[in-house]
Amino acid sequence: MLALAIGVVLGAGAAGALLASLGGGSPAAGSGQYRGSEPPRGIAMSDFSLRNHDGRLVRSSDLRGRVTVLTFLDSQCTESCPVIAWTVARTLEVLTQDERRDVRAVAISTDPTEDTPTSVRTFLATNRALGRLLYLGGGQPESELRRVWNEFKVLSSLESGQDTLHSAPVRIYDRSGTWVATLHAGADLTEANLAHDLRVALGQ
């Protein structure tokens, strides 16, 4: 699992190769419509029930019927996390109003102890993602987050002991909750690529 997090800070080519070899997906495995790597078909979003930084409860079942961008962040991270939050927020701005209505952007904390409501709000505001990106799990029991990390097969910064060392895939799930593509900061995550892949998922 440590290698998943290392892929976040590698160069674009190395990160893409490493993440694909560790289950990030391969274009050959899917339809080829997406610019991000495509996982094996039929993998559903794992169940979770976590609170947003504003206290609102968000369940994975609440996301069904919409396309979901899902990632894993640490509000103290200064490397991949700001890039991801900024890119997701900017991408939502370029979508049409109708498209935005059918998309949800969600981040799950990789360090619930440090991700206090104040820290999360500051992070989101700094990266112009406040009100655009749900940030779940901050301040919640470590045991609950560990279950979620395990279900999604990600390495957390709490587990690595470093704010900047954790898995940070940007996964896209279609309206049925099926994982269809993954983009990675430093490799293929751009506003254009994310917008393209969201529109493909919206059209399914």
Angle between helices 191-202 and 80-94 (to 10 degrees): 50
The domain ranges of the chain are 2-202
pLDDT of residue 204: 80
pLDDT of residue 24: 44
- Cα 139 to Cα 23, 48, 69, 123: the distances in Å are 29, 15, 22, 15
As beta bridge partners, residue 51 has: 57
* Cα distance between residue 5 and residue 160, in whole Å: 9
Find the DSSP H helices in the chain. 2-9, 12-19, 80-94, 97-101, 117-126, 142-152, 157-160, 191-202
Percent of the chain past pLDDT 90, that is, above it, reads: 84
- Burial annotation 51-73 (CB, 10 A radius, 16+ → b, else e): bbbeeeebebeebeebbbbbbbb
| pLDDT tens for each residue of 57-91 | 999 999 999 999 999 999 999 999 999 999 999 99
* Cα distance between residue 98 and residue 101, in whole Å: 5
Query: Any idea which fold 2-202 has?
Result: Glutaredoxin (3.40.30)
| pLDDT tens for each residue of 2-52 | 334 334 433 333 344 334 333 344 433 456 899 999 999 999 999 999 999
* Cα distance between residue 195 and residue 198, in whole Å: 5
CA atoms within 13 A on the CB side of 37: 23
Both structure tokens of 113: 């102890």
| pLDDT tens for each residue of 133-177 | 999 999 999 999 999 999 999 999 999 999 999 999 999 999 999
pLDDT of residue 89: 97
Both structure tokens of 141: 């029991």
Once rounded to an integer, what is the mean pLDDT over residues 91-101?
Answer: 97
pLDDT of residue 31: 67
Mean pLDDT, all residues of the chain: 88
Q: How many other CB atoms sit within 10 Å of the CB of residue 203?
A: 9
pLDDT of residue 10: 36
Q: What is the pTM of this model?
A: 0.86
